[in-house]
Structure formats: structure tokens, C-alpha cells
Structure 1
Amino acid sequence: MPSLTDATRGRLLFGGDYNPEQWPEETWLEDVRLMKDAGVTSVTLGVFSWARLEPRPGAREFGWLDRLMDLMHANGIGVVLATPTSSPPPWMGRLHPETLPRDEDGRTEWWGSRQHFSHSSATYRRYAAAITEDLAARYGGHPALLMWHINNEYCTYDWGDEAEAAFRRWLQDRYASLDALNEAWGTAFWSQGYGDWYEVLPPRRAHYMKNPAQVLDFRRFTSDALLECYLAERDIVARHTPHIPVTTNFMPFWRGQDAWAWAEQEDVVSVDVYPDPRDPFGGQYGAMIHDMTRSQARGGPWMVMEQAAGPVNWRGVNHPKPAGLNRLWSLQAVARGADAVCYFQWRQSRQGSEKFHSGMVSHAGEHGRTFQEAKRIGAELALLGEKVTDTRVEAAEVAVLLDWHSWWAVEQDGRLSHEVDHQQVVRAWHRALWEAHTTADFAHPEHDLSAYKLVVVPQLYLMTDAAIDNLVAYAENGGTLVAGFQTGVADEDDRVRAGGMDARLRELFGIRTLHEWWPLDAGEKVDVEGFHGTLWSEEIEAMDGVDSVMPYKGGELDGLPAVLHKGRAWYLSTLPEPHALRTLLADIAAEVGVRPVLDGLPADVEAVRRGGLLFLLNHSRDGVTVPVPGRHRDLLTGTDVTDGGVELGRYGVAVLEALS
């Protein structure tokens, strides 16, 4: 199977989405001059070019793309060639309205934006396969081709007629009989029992709350249906070019795709990552996305397909990146395993919905700060290329468990608290590890966890029997497990397990009885011995002989356990405030022999080891001194660092190689 290493060819890929069809051809030569000046090694072409490539049904206009492919190759710039199938031409919707998706109210989503396709439409799939076939046949042997990029940010939902039929087929494959479906969906509730397959619909607009198991299966179906679209195009290009790697770009921590399942079907795992420059923990958010993507890539190199060189255009207020922040976050991605650092987009658009979304070449042009910073990043990536490409981040000893099916189930209507945001809960736990300077992987709860000294479970509301058995076996075989509130509540059909938590987990954590869940109001806190808890609390009765208990203090739960510790397992029935969660996880990690990447790090400095190199990243606007024992050379400056300290300025970065 081809890999990212086959595309990088010993250098870090640097560049971004290039949309030259928005510009007159005389601009292309100017673009190439600036690309070479900035050290660009690759561009992504064709992402939104379907109307240009196929202006009429069956027509093909490849001449402009021929010239671009040749131009890139002549100037030493590789091409990540996209299939343009995320944005069909207007003629398709006009001639074939069945290709347009419909929302849960039955309203058609018309052309005029993007992603206006029904993933279940046979007509859409036929046209998508045809344009992909012709692209692969024409450019599969072109020397500029580095990688295939299928579609873009798969995120389409559809409640239309063809999706209805496809959903029904998916359910028949999953359950085989209506009796099994009725049992899985709990249709005895509210007189929902189905007596004919044609009665089964997608979860369209309803008078009141929808069946949560039906909604859960619709999310599973949608992820699978989109994956079918990806696989159809992937298989076409792979048949023409089995030596060229294939990818599609994930959106960061997006709910709609089961990323574990998708990553298994990609040669290269790639992601679009857009931390908010005003977020004081934007660096931690980026680190979390990087750790997640690296883990989906099975520890190997991965790709930043998109990031912003400056402001985006879709937040309420779109702030630019302060000087130095783009460089810091780009090198952070490399530190955490990326072999490609790319942007949306190369040149900032002058028209369209994203004209205020930044580009590597901003409206200020080549003399603007954005482009000048891009030049510096390109030069530094060139310095690092041979040292880091195809190397791995130092093996993590901690894993954070995440499962999309559990996420889908826990955030449905009818839950106990809309204040609990699963993504924010996961982020809080990752932040605690990040602030403790502990590198972590992400893992699926059914993965082999034996290599980790510590496994943390921020929240796994829905768990299969296999996942539960895996966690119990991990702890029984010497691993240390720390789980957060509302874990192990439901089975894979979103059926609440007897006792409100699976009996195997209650035994593991030392819980005799889970009497009630006590969610907290916005801003409300509960007192616990040693800290305050947020979001949630639980009325728990502990088993006799539990090793230690941190009790609630005051209120309805006074004296009852908030945190339980039995053997090698911990259970937190609330979310501790950030400093308390960091301290608790750091103490547990230290007990099991997990050490920070580097001792004595200032609070805002991140340290990561990759391929024998030590990356130091200062997320503060203030300069700091980082104590580093031994002799090193900073590859970015060429200067030697002896025993003492490394000086990092505002948003500063050092990449240290040990000297003998």
C-alpha cells in the first residue's frame, strides 16, 4: 500500500489548495514565481473544478489542467490532484434533481453553494465515477502527480427518497428481520412497532422527540454511505495508479464520520485544522487534533491538508493570527507527526463566499506579512525535511479513548443535560495531559491497549460488550484505567444497561449501586474533598473495601464518593476543574511510571520528541528560558546549545538535535 512517504520523497510537503481557475492565466506564472520563493513543494488542484472540467454533461475540458500540471512539474512543484466531486455543476441539479439532498423537513438543498449532492443518488455516483475515471486515465502517468485527494470534507446528510431506500437496505443488512430491528430500536415504546420494511423511514421531522436508536443508526448509515462514495472513487484511481497514495481530508473532530473506520481505508490520513487565534488554549486544541490524526494514521506520518494562514471567514468575529502564531502552529503539527503542512488556500480569493478567508498570498500581496511569514515557514521546513520525514513521534505511554458511536448516542434529544458537550469533555481531559507535558495517543475502546501504562476514558456513554471486556482485561493485566462520568451506561443499541452502568464496570470501579445521576446547571459547581466538580455529579454507593474515596462535601450528595479508586481503576463521577484534573492525572501517571517529555518546563511551553529530535514550542507572547540538559544543536538557527537553557521568544520554536 502506498504511503505519504511515497509522496514526500524525503521532503516535507508545503503548499496548499490552488484554485487558478479563479484567475487569468497570466497570473499563473506570477503564482509559480511566488511559490518557488516561498519554498512551496506541492499544491492541491481541482477540488472545486467540476463545472470547469465538465461544463456540459459528458463534455471534457482538460486543456487548462494539462497546462497547469505541466507548469507545476517544470518548476519542481508536485500536485495533489483532487476529484472535484464535492461540488457538482449546476446542470446536474437542473437536469437531475434527484441528485440534490433534502433536509429532514423534505426541503431541497439547491446548487449555489457546495456539497449539494445526495450520497445515495445513483445518478450522482455515476457522474462522479465518470469524471474520476477520466481524470485518473489522463493524469495517472503525469510526473507531477504526488497524491490523489478524493472529494473534500465529506459532510453531506440526506433525508431524501434515494437515501430512504438506501437506509432501509442498510438496516436489512444489519438486522436481517423486522423483529430484530424492533428489538434494537425499542419500538414497544410509543407504539412505534414496524410491521413492514416500507414503514421504516429516516428520522425526518417529527412531532416530538425522535427514536434515539433510529437516529443513532441513521448517523451510522450516513457515515457508511459517504464512505461508499469515497471508496468508489478511491478504487478507480487506485486501479490506474496503484503506486500513488490516496487521501480525503477529515474535518477536525467532526461528528459526522466514524473516523476510525474511514482511516482504515486511506493510504494517507489528512485533516483540516483551524484553531481560533483568540482561544487561549488554541495550541492545545491543535495538539489534540494532531494526536488524534496521528493515532488514526496508526502512528505513522500524516498530513495537514488545510489550515489558515490568517483569519477564517466563518466565525462570528474572524481574527487574524498574530505575528509568529502561524509558524508556531505549523511546526507544532510537524512535531506531532505531520509530514505535510498545507493551507486553504494559496492565493486569497477576490470573489465568492471565502474572499475574506486568508490565503498564503493575502490581498496585501507578496509584501504582506502573511506571505513573508509563509516564506519563513517554507525555508524552515526545508531545513527539517531530511531529519523528520517518515519518522515517528516518541511512543506515547498514555491513551485517550474515543468512539464516534458513543458520541452520537450521548448527544441526542432526551438526555439529562444539554450542558454536557462530549467534544469539550474530551478536550478537557486531553488538556489536562497536555498541560502536564504528557504525550498521548487516541485509541478506539476495542483497540489493543497493552502498550499503554495509562488509559483515560473521558466519557464512553455507549460501549459494546467487546469494549467493556477489553477495558476490564486491560486493568486486570496490570494497566491503569481512569474513567470519567457517564461511562458504560448504554449498550450498542442505546439501551440503558441494568443498574445504570454495566455490572462489569461497576465491579471494576468499586461501585455497589449507582442510585441517580445529578447533572449540574450552567456554571454550577459541587464541592469535593480537594477540588470543585463541574457539569455533572452522581449519587453512588461504594463497595466495601474500595481503596480510596474522595467524597462530595455539602449538598444532597454530602459524604458520598465523587472519585473512587479500586486497584488499578479510577472513576470520576464529576468533571474536576482544569487544575484539579491536571493534578490528578499527573499524579496517577507518575505512580505508574509515565514521565513528562522534559522536566522543569515552563507552563506555556510544549515539548515533543520526534525521530530523535526535541521540539520546544512556546505558546506564550512572553519570552521564556527552557532548561535542557546536555549539548544540542538548534536545527532552525544552526546554533549550539550547551547545558543551561534554550531561549524562546514570543511564540518561539526550537528543534534540538543531541550532540555527542
Structure 2
Amino acid sequence: MANKFPPVSGKLPVMMHGADYNPDQWLHDPRVFEEDIRLMKLAGCNVMAVGIFSWAALEPSEGTFTFEWLDHVLDTFADNGIYAWLATPSGARPAWMSEKYTEVLRVEANRVRNLHGMRHNHCYTSPVYREKTAIMNGKLAERYGQHPAVIGWHISNEFGGDCHCDYCQEAFRQWLQAKYGSLEALNLAWWTSFWAHTYTDWEQVVSPAPHGENMVHGHNLDWRRFVSEQIANFCRHEIDAVRAANPDLPATTNMHMIDGLDYRVLAETIDVISWDAYPTWHEQKDDSQLASSFAFYHDLYRSLKQKPFLLMESTPSATNWQNVSKLKRPGMHRLSSLQAVAHGSDSVQYFQWRKSRGSSEKFHGAVVDHAGHENTRVFRDVADLGRTLADISEIVGTSTPSETAILFDWDNRWAVKDAAGPRNMGIHYEETVIAHHRAFWEQGVLTDIIGSSDDISSYKLIVAPMLYLCREETGRKLEAFVENGGVLVTTYWSGVVNESDLCHLGGFPGPLRKTLGLWAEEIEGLYDYDRNGISMAAGNPLGLAGTFEAHEICEIVHPEGAEVLGVYTDDFYAGRPALTLNRLGNGRAYHMATRLKGDFLGAFYRKVVDEAGIARVLNSDLPVGVTAQVRTDGDSDYVFLLNFGGEERSVALDNRSYSDLETGESASGEIVLPVNGVRILKRPAGI
């Protein structure tokens, strides 16, 4: 893997720092724009995302285009050394379009067409909407594709949702016909003989509905796959409309969490990954659990293209839409922003630059408050971070050398949530994946988040929690990985169904049975108040001793060559295997038959990391709540020490040569991190 990638834009080969900017909201008062330029420079902001929801300002009536205000914005940016991610405005269309062309409005799963309003309220399949977006995008590209201030295209905004109109139904049927070829194949894959739901004509096949078909799991799964591909197709349609004017401009679209669509599919259409992160900081004194969960998401988005990504949106202070919108405590803005950089971001950008005066986000955090000046705590935090980002631009393009990966597939996630058993009150798939990731985060082990179709040859350790949907080819791939010397860790509820959500016959874990050396007979869901435990076998090869609490899920397994490392402590299956190890070829495969808590995961993965020969960022133990991350260009490592523990912490450096990246001063011995503290150190490469 390359140690350093080219910057996202050669025009701006430094850390990007900026925000979503909506000058069209202030066209009635030109003084606001003049003041914004002064404040942007004062805050050290060098890039703005412009025009995201500007369609009504750009085309106030059909065929009438008013680009003059945007000309002024971009020309002024260029004169002042500020750049723009120029957005296509398809996230929210103007009222005249909804009134004249009702087909552009989304139809919900209940088959009722929405009224005009909100955002993302459009049909991705509508010929009219595709025509109108192509016209708008083409005009933007023709006018600004070569503009000196424009560094790339921001395609729409937070794609998501689905439409169930007649156009989408027909597109879904065509997608299914291309996939299955015949109704017979579809009926078999979906197991429609259940409840006599066999299809005899393609016109009978429609999308899942709350008042119709929604219990055929293969049907639900294929609809979600179709929606992901249809959204990606629409994104590609938008990109095609802007690409011709300047093929060198990169295109991105800002992703948001993981609901609704498979971002690996969408990632194939864009040049750089960007995403929007909004943690609910300060729910507890110790922010480390929340920080570790967002570390997982940063790692996920970096891994989509295995290169640096962009933090496209974050809040510089509070949001206004979370259950409780707490202010960032002193130091948290810098800490949380540099957390993204530590995990691979080459930008820190915000929603929003200036607070809107009205509507639903008028109290959402912004760099410039309603007070309208720089004399605020938030503005000072942003300006201070701007100076830091300017000092660390040598990190831009550096890579993250992970030897560990966690397997996370969207269709597996959908299938797990749709499974109807064994614990419908919450099987906690994502929480489980994040808990395994946290065990690496706590010890400073770099981790990629990969899909089952990704190349796995560079990893020493792969963790696959709850790999419920496991294709035969995935099973063969993981088997070869272990035989060739890799270490695999799996859990309960793995190898249960195939890609059509049909149960593997012959015993679970299906395609993983040989690799894990066991078969699973039964799986039990526990109530929240139920507890079991795991007792470690004396002299087990991991050297773990004692008992650990188990909860929520217990799987009853039979070893078929696997060594038993730990057994259940309670219930009728007390003494049965709960943790196993199978040696296959040159590698090893561990299986956790029950859900275990952080104390076990931390102890277990510390042993496994040592056993697999995986490097940690620091050759020393990290205090509770502190993590260490590293980026490298092959010559120098850039080490981030981040304290989310809620109290002052001290970190012992190892004996390598360190200097502070911002000051250039040497660093050794103990590094004291205050509450919400972060240090960026530089050392010769080689973690």
C-alpha cells in the first residue's frame, strides 16, 4: 500500500478547514458576505462547501438561471485565497418543480406520494428529476468547472431513503430480472413457497410494504441492495453531468452514519470519501466509549478506499437535533477534530459557517453565531484549531498501516436485523462490532473495517463478529486466510444464511465449519436480567485465567477438532464449550460462542495481538480513556495521543525518538495529557 497519497486537490495541498456555507440565505444584505470573508480568514478557514441547498436561488423559475450571486461568491473566494467544494443542489428541489412535475416527489412504502418539503424528498428513478439535475449540473460545470476557486464537486447531500413509485417498481423488477433471469430462480432464492407467496408473473413483484409483503427476508434484502445501487446510479448520473467540463476535479458526496444504503456501493462512484460526524459528547464524564465508537466509523470510512478521507461536517459547538444538545467542553473541539485526522481525515469541516436566522437549524452550532462577530468561545476554538491544522499539513496524504481488520458487510447487517430471532428485543449487531473494535482502540492497534469482497492478504488478524450472512466464497476466502497463517476470530450467529438469506443446510456455521472446527446445534437468547459466564480452562494457550460474564446470546457448539479454551458456567449447558481454538494449516481460528463484555475482549485481544505479532502504536500500556493512533509517509510516523478519559492522564513513551509536531521540541518519558488533551508527535517511521 502506498505510504503517501496525493492531496485531494493540488490547488489546496494542505489540511482543509472550513464549513458548509449558505450565502444565498443572506443575499438581501451584502454586508454579511463581506464580513464572512474577513471572518473566514481570521479563523484560518481555507475551503467552503457552497450551494448544497441553493437550487431555488440558482433557478427561481423553470429555465431562468441566476448565477450572478454565485459568480460573486466564487470570484471573491479566489481573490482571498479561499476555495470551494461546489455542490450540486439536488438534495432539495424548488417548489415550482414539485408543483409542475409531481413525479419528482418520493412515494413512501405505504404507497402515498409525499408533499413538497423537507429535503431528500425525491425519486432517484424519475426521468424528469434526472433530466432537471443534468441540466442544472451541466450549467454549473460549464460556468465553474475551470474556476480557480473550485477544487471539486460536492454531489448532493447525505444520500439516503427510498422511493416506491411506479418508476422505482419497474426498475426494481428489471434489476431482479437481470440478477435472477427467471421467476423460478427468484422464487427459489426468496423461498416464496413459505406462506404460499410464489410469484407467477413479474408484475406481481413489488417493493416491501408495511401493508403488504414484508416477511420474505430475501425480498427485503434484495430491495435494500437495489436501493443502494439505484442511489449510486443516480450519483453517477450527477457526476457524469459535471465531469466533462473538467475531468480533473474530484467528486465526493457526504455520507452520514450507516443507515439506509451500502456505502461500499456508493464509494465506487466517487473519488474521495467524505462523511458527517456528530457525536453526543459529554453524556458521561468519561467520553471514551463514545470516542471509540466514532473511531470505528472513522476507520470504516477510511477503509472504503484505503486512503485519506474528508471530515465534511461536524459541529463546532452544539447541535440542535440531538436529545440533549450539550456544549463542547474546553478542549473537546480540538480533541474531536484531531481524532478524525488521526484516523485518516485530511480535513476538518463544519455544519455550519454562519447560523441560519430561521427554520429548523437556526440553533444548530456554527462558527459564526447570531451575534455575528469573532468574540465568542466557539470562534476562538475554531481559529485555534485552524492554526494547528496549518502547522501539521505535512500529514496530508499519509497512510494508516493496519495489520488488523474487522469484517463489516452492509447486507449482513440488514440480514441480522431482519432475522426474527434469537433476540428480537435487541441482538445489538453494531454495538457488538464496535465493542470488538474498542478492544483494539484501547491498546493502540490500528484497525481497518473491510467488506467480505475486499482483499485480505495484507492482514495478520481478521475479526468477523456475527457473520450471519456468509457466502460460500467468503467461507473459502477465510479458510485460505487461516491456512496461510492468518488469525481469524468469529462469534455466535455466524455462518447461518447465504447471500439470499437462506439457511445453510448441514449445520451451522455453514461455510466456516471446517475453519472453526465445530458445529453449532442451538442458540439461546437471554433476557436482559439473565447472566451466564465463561470459565477459562487451566493451561489454555492464551494464558487467560478466571471467569468472565456472558450475556444476551449463548450458542451450544460441538467441537470437531477445535480445542476448548473456556466453558459455560451456568444453566443446563454448563461445562459445554464457550470459547474454542482451531488450528488449520499455519493459522488459527477462535470462536466465541457467547456475547462477552469489555473486560474479556480487552484481555483476549491483548493476547491475540501479541500472538499474531501485530504492532501497537506505542510499545507501552495506555491509560484508561487514552488511545494512540498513527499515520505515516514511510519516512516519518505521526503519532496522535488522545485523552477521552475525563481526567488528566500520563502516557509513557517508548524509547524511540519523538518530537512535538507543532513546536518541534523533543519529547520523551511521560507525556501529560490534560482533560480533553491531545498531542501530535513525530518519530522516524516504523511502528
Give the TM-score of the pair, scaled to structure 2. Answer: 0.92
**1:520 correspondence with 2:540:** no
* One of 283, 290, 308 as aligned partner of 2:298: 290
* One of 551, 559, 563 as aligned partner of 1:547: 563
Where 2:122 maps in the other structure, the secondary structure is: coil
Where 2:652 maps in the other structure, the secondary structure is: strand
Q: Distance in 2 between matches of 1:8 and 1:587?
A: 46
Q: Distance in 1 between matches of 2:369 and 2:293?
A: 25
Is the 1:632–1:658 Cα contact (8 Å) retained in structure 2? yes
Q: Distance in 2 between matches of 1:655 and 1:619?
A: 15
Where 1:437 maps in the other structure, the secondary structure is: coil
Q: Distance in 2 between matches of 1:503 and 1:622?
A: 47
Q: Deviations over 1:564-614 (max 9, x none)?
A: 111100111112111111111111111111132111322222111212221
Corresponding residue number in structure 2 for 1:369: 377
Q: State the 1:357 CA deviation.
A: 1.2
**1:240 correspondence with 2:245:** yes
Identical-pair percentage: 36
Corresponding residue number in structure 2 for 1:171: 176
Corresponding residue number in structure 2 for 1:625: 650
Alpha-carbon spacing, 1:4–1:272, altered in 2? closer, same or farther (3 Å): farther
Is the 2:392–2:661 Cα contact (8 Å) retained in structure 1? yes
Equivalent residues in 2 for 1:191-202 (5 A)?
A: 191-202=196-207
Corresponding residue number in structure 2 for 1:262: 266
**1:123 correspondence with 2:113:** no
Is the 1:499–1:514 Cα contact (8 Å) retained in structure 2? no
Q: State the 1:67 CA deviation.
A: 0.4
Corresponding residue number in structure 1 for 2:50: 45
Q: Distance in 2 between matches of 1:556 and 1:240?
A: 70
Where 1:498 maps in the other structure, the secondary structure is: coil
Is the 1:209–1:414 Cα contact (8 Å) retained in structure 2? no
Corresponding residue number in structure 1 for 2:436: 429
Q: State the 1:64 CA deviation.
A: 0.5
Corresponding residue number in structure 2 for 1:606: 627
Corresponding residue number in structure 1 for 2:99: 94
**1:536 correspondence with 2:553:** yes
Corresponding residue number in structure 1 for 2:389: 381
* One of 648, 661, 677 as aligned partner of 1:635: 661
* One of 71, 83, 98 as aligned partner of 2:88: 83
Q: State the 1:302 CA deviation.
A: 1.0
**1:16 correspondence with 2:24:** no
Q: State the 1:278 CA deviation.
A: 2.6
Q: State the 1:161 CA deviation.
A: 1.6
Amino acid corresponding to residue 600 of structure 2 in structure 1: A
Q: State the 1:523 CA deviation.
A: 4.3
Q: Distance in 2 between matches of 1:597 and 1:85?
A: 43
Alpha-carbon spacing, 1:14–1:180, altered in 2? closer, same or farther (3 Å): same
Q: Which ranges in structure 1 are unaligned for 5 or more consecutive residues?
A: none
Q: Distance in 2 between matches of 1:531 and 1:214?
A: 40
Q: Distance in 2 between matches of 1:346 and 1:523?
A: 47
Equivalent residues in 2 for 1:100-249 (5 A)?
A: 100-206=105-211, 209-249=214-254
Is the 1:524–1:535 Cα contact (8 Å) retained in structure 2? yes
Amino acid corresponding to residue 106 of structure 1 in structure 2: R
Q: Distance in 2 between matches of 1:3 and 1:127?
A: 34
Larger deviation, residues 526-535 vs 191-200: 526-535
Give the TM-score of the pair, scaled to structure 1. Answer: 0.96
Amino acid corresponding to residue 522 of structure 1 in structure 2: D
Q: Deviations over 1:264-315 (max 9, x none)?
A: 22111111111110353221122111111111122x2210011111111222
Question: Over aligned residues, Cα RMSD in angstroms?
Answer: 1.7
Amino acid corresponding to residue 118 of structure 2 in structure 1: S
Where 2:322 maps in the other structure, the secondary structure is: coil
Is the 1:90–1:111 Cα contact (8 Å) retained in structure 2? yes
Where 1:562 maps in the other structure, the secondary structure is: strand
Where 1:428 maps in the other structure, the secondary structure is: helix
Corresponding residue number in structure 1 for 2:680: 655
Where 1:345 maps in the other structure, the secondary structure is: coil
**1:56 correspondence with 2:56:** no
Q: State the 1:20 CA deviation.
A: 1.1
Q: Which ranges in structure 2 are unaligned for 5 or more consecutive residues?
A: 536-546
**1:445 correspondence with 2:452:** yes
Amino acid corresponding to residue 384 of structure 2 in structure 1: R
Q: State the 1:464 CA deviation.
A: 1.6
Is the 2:578–2:593 Cα contact (8 Å) retained in structure 1? yes
Amino acid corresponding to residue 150 of structure 1 in structure 2: I
Q: Deviations over 1:442-491 (max 9, x none)?
A: 11122221211111011211122211111111011110000122111100
Where 1:5 maps in the other structure, the secondary structure is: coil
Q: Distance in 1 between matches of 2:387 and 2:57?
A: 34
Q: State the 1:26 CA deviation.
A: 1.2
Where 2:374 maps in the other structure, the secondary structure is: helix
**1:588 correspondence with 2:639:** no
Amino acid corresponding to residue 540 of structure 1 in structure 2: V
Corresponding residue number in structure 1 for 2:592: 572
Q: Distance in 2 between matches of 1:562 and 1:592?
A: 22
**1:312 correspondence with 2:333:** no
Where 1:536 maps in the other structure, the secondary structure is: strand
Amino acid corresponding to residue 21 of structure 1 in structure 2: D
Q: Deviations over 1:11-46 (max 9, x none)?
A: 110001001111222100111111000110100000
Amino acid corresponding to residue 6 of structure 1 in structure 2: S
Where 1:487 maps in the other structure, the secondary structure is: coil
Q: Distance in 2 between matches of 1:503 and 1:288?
A: 28
Where 1:534 maps in the other structure, the secondary structure is: strand
